[in-house]
Every structure is written in structure tokens, then in C-alpha cells.
Chain A
Amino acid sequence: MSYSEPRTLFEKIWSRHEILTRDDGVSLLSIDRHLCHEGSFHAFDKLKMENRTVRCPELTVAIADHYVSTSFPEKGNEVEALRVPIEKLEINSKDAGIRLYGVGSKEQGIVHVVGPEQGLTIPGITLVCGDSHTATHGAFGCLAFGIGASEVAHVLATQTLWQTKPKTMRININGSLLDGVVAKDIILHLISVVGANGASGHMIEYAGSTIRNLSMEGRMTICNMSIEAGGRAGMVEPDQKTFDYLKGRKHAPKLKDWDLAIKDWKTLATEPGAIFDKEVTVDAGEIAPSLTWGNSPEETLPVTGYIPSPEDEADISKRETLEGTLEYMGLTPGQKLTDIAIDRVFIGSCTNSRIEDLRSAARIAQGKKALVPAIIVPGSTLIKKQAEAEGLDKLFIDAGFEWRSTGCSMCVGMNGDITPPGERCASTSNRNFKGRQGPGSRTHLMSPAMAAAAAITGRVTDARDFS
């Protein structure tokens, strides 16, 4: 096949997987990897009701994370009602012959951390999971997106999925980052620029020198929060860093296959002159250490900022929403962000729980004492082990942090780890929605270093003051 038009990374992957297109423009895609978690029980129930079986169990991997207790992981969860979904996943995987990284397995962890870690995530593939943060895997140059239970059932039954081809958006970030600015700051800033639904209907490609200079961990943090800008998928073109990360991973191609894979992966990058439906360009130098103050991830400001005033909002509906947000968050217009007192700290989640994140929090915590309760939840059992080998567990414990086991923990508020009503949490997770971390919880999203700094001072803190 020859193509005259320069093509994007996304278009190349899409066309490789497009089986047919309906008259209404909707395409049937073949799916290379399907990751399941406890929440997938709805889809398995549906399958049973319709008397269907799993078409390709070998392309499906089940991982327990959402309901797993980070305090008593060996039991799954100490609360019986929360153990049920974990047990359902175990039964459904066993019945269908699906590989399970469940409770007690050395590979277990957060699905979006485990996928890349085990080499299940590789460039050029289509990867789906019944979870909106599936875009994380796009950091490896694959097309990865979150789906609902009906679609999970469809993939289980057919290993295909009907999809409308999304539009494309390229976000270019060039230049050097200011000191103390990390991937989390970049993505929070981008969401505030693009808006919480600015990329709705689009897949995002993150490009430019700043992205190229990021580690794989940093790229994953950025792709992870694509959905918070409305984009179902986010991706970065694969390069040597991608290949180096994947080489030798459990499920990554081996020997001759590896050489062939590399050869193919090198052809995936977006070609010069390829056209995107939307282009956004951001100068890396504009980005400051940032955090969210409201209940939408677009409500982000530099740590040096102040709470906005509803009086400045002309649109009545928006003004009322803002008033509601400030009331819920217990904040006053004009308040300095660094004056906000924090009640507890959560460092973890599929956004920021990888070894690099833990190291960066550790650099802040070293030799200090946390003023407020703070928990560290590594993204996987392997990351936990690695951190312990580096002595990070001891460092955190000495600094008054709790060293927990892996899982979704306080990001998702459904496994027992919550922020109590009215309390304010400095969190490295991805959503500051009302009640996300538990009913009445107040969330401020920030980087691991900023969250660790907040634990030490008991208020929102510019981590640069610690260096």
C-alpha cells in the first residue's frame, strides 16, 4: 500500500485495525489487548445472560486493583462487601481461562501501571479497558482508550469494537521546563488551557521537545489525564526511550520478534506535514508548579496563585457553579493558595505511583516529619519491592508517612481508603470531583513532590521552597 498524504501515528494504528466501516461511518476495530479489573463483572454478567463466551482469553488480562485493600491486601479486602467484586474477578477469569494478576500475585498492581510494567502495553496496538484512565498506555505509542461495560462485553465476546473515528488534536510543548516543574504540572496546565472538554471527540497526540525529554513515567502521567481534558485517548510517538523501557519485560516481544517489532515500531511516528484537526502549542517555560483548587481538573492555577472570585464571572450559570464550588471546597475568593491548610495527603494512583514519583516525594520527605496523615501507595507490587530495595519505605516511615500496599486506594473512594467528609486532601491522583475521594471530601491535585511538601507543612506548599 502506498499513501500520498503524510499520516499521523493515530491514523496508522487505526487503519491497521479497521476491519470494516459501516455506511454511517462507524468502524469495526480489532482489539489487541483487553485489560479487565473488578468492575468488569457487569460485562461478564452480561455475557452470561446472553449465553456467550470469551472469544480471545489469551488477549485478555485481569488485574485486581479498584477494590483491593492497601492495609490488608492478603485478604483482598477486610470488608466482605468489598471483597465480593475481587472474588467475582477471580471466578470470571478462571471460568474463561483469562490470565489473572490477582491478590497475592507478584505482578499485581494498578492496571495502568501493570500493563506497561509487564510489557503488555507495546507500540502500535489497540488496547482497551473498562476504565477511563486507559489513555495512560498511549505513552507507548499505542491506541488505548477507556470503554463502558457494554463495550467491555462486546470486546470479551468478539475481540472487536465499533468505534466512530475520533478527530485528532496535537498538543505541542517545546522548550525547557522551569526548575521544579514536572509532568503532573504540565498536564494540569494543559487541561486548564484546553478545558475539561476541550479535547472531547478527539484523540490527543502529545509532541514537541519537552515531551521527548520526559521519561516514560512522565509521559504516562501526561497521557493518563487526557480524559480530564475530554480526550478518550492520548499518545506519544514511540522512540528509543520507549524501546529501552520495554526490552526484557515479561510479555514484550523476545529475540527475533523483538528486532522485527523495533523495525515496525520505528515506522509508526507521525510524518512531517501530517494534518491534525486541532493544534495547540504551549511554551514549556510558561508552566509553573500547579495544583487544582476546584472540582474540575481544569480549575488549575500555579502554586503562587489566588482563588478566583465569582464576581469576575459574567455568565450567570458559570458564576453560580463557581459559588457552589467555593462553598463545597470551603475556600474564599482572593485566598492565597499557599494559605490553604491540608488535612491529609495521598501519594499514589495510576497518575503518580511509579518509582520516579516515589523518589521525587522521598527527596522532599527525607529527614523531615509529616504534620498530617499521609499515605504512600505504590502503583504495583514490583514498584513497592523496588522502592523497598532503595530504602524509600524506611525513609517515608521515618518521616511519618504510612507505607501501604498497592491498589487504586484513595483515588477512587471505593476500597475503604477515603478522605473523611469536610477534610482536605493533597492528592497525586487525577480527579478533584466532588465526593471523588469519599462523600464530602475536598481534593487538590498536585505532583508527588508538592503533595509530600504539603504533608510536611500541613498546607499547600511550593515544593521549590524545599530544595
Chain B
Amino acid sequence: MEAFRKLTATAAPIQIANIDTDQIIPARFLKTPRSTDHGQFLFHDMRRGRDGNLSEDFILNQKEFKASGILVADNNFGCGSSRESAVYALHDAGIKCVIAPSFGDIFYTNSLKNGLLPIKLDRSIVQAIWKALASANSSEVEVDLESQTMNMAEAIRKRPQSVIETTKDQVTPSDKKKKMKYSDFIRSKQPTVPAKELNESLETTLSKIRRMYRNGKLMTFREWAEEFGEILDALG
């Protein structure tokens, strides 16, 4: 396992939810010993068309993203089978970090055992990164493990991982002049529920739930989702 403190690499957006480990590495390659380069199997079937040739539609086949070191993926990346070969394939292909709103639990653990950094971020933030990558001149992203920050050429500066919800507004003072605040960046890209209102609506929700429990009414999940789905969405 190679450690890194700071990683600067091309970040490839993969805007597909539920990419399972069968897609990361198909089952027929699992009998391969670890000593073999697993990078050749990465997204083997996903990156090929029906004719078996590499498809330009798949981002890692495009010239600019061939040497990507970071993936910016969607919900539930690495779900499904526990095959650690999925992590071997990413690792051997030079991917050192995957950013996604959520991961398969087993894949997440397997990643940490092999020096692949999985970063969980709110989906709204991941969406903002996709947008930023699409509009920026460079797809180069820097991930700094020690300061737990991530930098993108012009705009993004923030604390990744689980602390993100409470520290969205934190920007180191020296960066203020040259870099837009992360929260401003997000607001400029898409409207989000302001924290105060969110807290208020959460309070209302919670008291509503408490009231229902007191009255002995149990909701089905569907009723619950209809009632509170909006707030869940806002929370990401």
C-alpha cells in the first residue's frame, strides 16, 4: 500500500448511480492472482461497446481522462459483491481516490485496506463538482489529506469527508482573497435551503413525529417519505 499526503490528479466525473463491483470488474476476471495487473480489467465491459471495442462515450477512454487519478461518482459506488478485486482494478489503473455521495459498505472497507481513498460528500456538493469539472479549463484536482481539503483550479475549497455538513463555510483566511468561499460557490451554482430554515423545518418534522408516536399512530415508510421527503432531499 502506498500512502499519500497530497494527491494532484485528473478527476473524471462518472454520473451514474449504483455502479456495482461487477461493473468495476466482471466476475470472469476474479480468478486472476493479485500479482497480475488488474488495471486492464477496470470497467472492462462498461468501457466497451457491443462490438467489444473501446467506446469514446466512456469517460476514461477519452484522451483527457485516460490518466485520471480521481473519480467523482454518484450514489452507492461499489455496491454489491464483496470482491476486493474491484479495488485492485481501480488501484492498478492509477485511481487513488473516489469521491461519491455514498459507497457500498464492503467496498469502502476494502478501499481503505489498499490505499484507495473513498471520500463521502453530500450529493449536492458532488453535483457541484461535476458542474465545475464540466465548465473548468482543467480537470486537475488536488486532495490534501492532512488539511482535509480539496482544491479545484478556480473555485472549490472545502473540507471533505464526514465533517463537511458542519464546516461548509470554513475557509482558511489566507485563501479568502484568491478563492471564492465554498458556500458562495454552491449558492451560485444552485439554490439550497439555508441552514436556519432547514433547522426550523427539521424541528417541525421532529415534533410532528413525536406527536404521532404519542398518539400511537405508526406511519408506513411510504407515508413517512411523502411527509418528510422534501426535508430529506434538502439534507441530501
Contact = CB atoms under 8 A, between A and B. Distances in A.
A151 B109 contact: yes
Contact of B106 (A148, A283, A421): A148
A354 to B, nearest CB: 22
Contact of A132 (B46, B106, B113): B106
Interface string B61-93: 000000000000011100111111101000000
Given A197-B76, A436-B22, A317 B15 contact: yes
A196 interface: yes
B100 to A, nearest CB: 10
A221 to B, nearest CB: 18
Contacts, number: 138
A151 B76 CA distance: 21
B17 A318 contact: yes
Contact of B110 (A41, A150, A436): A150
Given A148-B106, A148-B109, A435 B22 contact: yes
Contacts of B136: none
A231 B110 CA distance: 16
Interface stretch (A80-88, A359-367, A371-379): A80-88
Given A230-B104, A414-B27, A42 B80 contact: no
Given A281-B221, A286-B220, A434-B22, A196 B30 contact: no
Given A67-B31, A84-B31, A281-B219, A433 B114 contact: no
A440 B28 CA distance: 13
A431 B15 contact: no
B214 interface: no
B151 to A, nearest CB: 24
- B74, B80, B221: residue with the most chain A Cβ atoms closer than 10 Å: B221
Contacts of B102: 197, 200, 230
A196 B27 CA distance: 21
A194 interface: yes
Contact of B221 (A200, A201, A282): A282
A435 B110 contact: no
A130 interface: yes
Interface string A430-442: 0101111001100
A435 B221 CA distance: 32
B177 interface: no
A390 interface: no
Contacts of A132: 80-82, 106
B127 interface: yes
A39 B50 CA distance: 29
A332 interface: no
A172 to B, nearest CB: 8
Contact of A150 (B20, B74, B113, B218): B113
B16 interface: yes
A413 B222 contact: no
A166 B28 CA distance: 32
A149 B46 CA distance: 24
Interface residues of B, number: 45
A55 B5 CA distance: 35
Contacts of A81: 31
Interface in A277-322: 280-283, 286, 295-296, 298, 317-318, 320-321
Given A45-B33, A132-B80, A200 B105 contact: yes
A196 B76 contact: yes
B49 to A, nearest CB: 11
A83 to B, nearest CB: 10
Nearest to A199: B105
Contacts of B103: 200
B18 interface: yes
A317 B127 contact: yes
A151 B113 contact: yes
Nearest to B111: A148
Given A131-B82, A296-B18, A230 B76 contact: yes
B128 to A, nearest CB: 13
A434 B113 CA distance: 27
Nearest to A232: B105
B94 interface: no
B176 interface: no
Given A197-B18, A281-B219, A412-B27, 7 more contacts: A39-B30, A81-B31, A132-B80, A197-B76, A227-B80, A230-B76, A440-B50
28 contacts: A39-B30, A41-B33, A45-B34, A81-B31, A132-B82, A132-B106, A148-B87, A148-B113, A149-B85, A150-B84, A150-B113, A193-B221, A196-B79, A197-B104, A200-B76, A200-B102, A281-B221, A282-B220, A282-B221, A317-B16, A317-B74, A321-B17, A413-B26, A431-B22, A434-B46, A435-B45, A439-B26, A440-B50
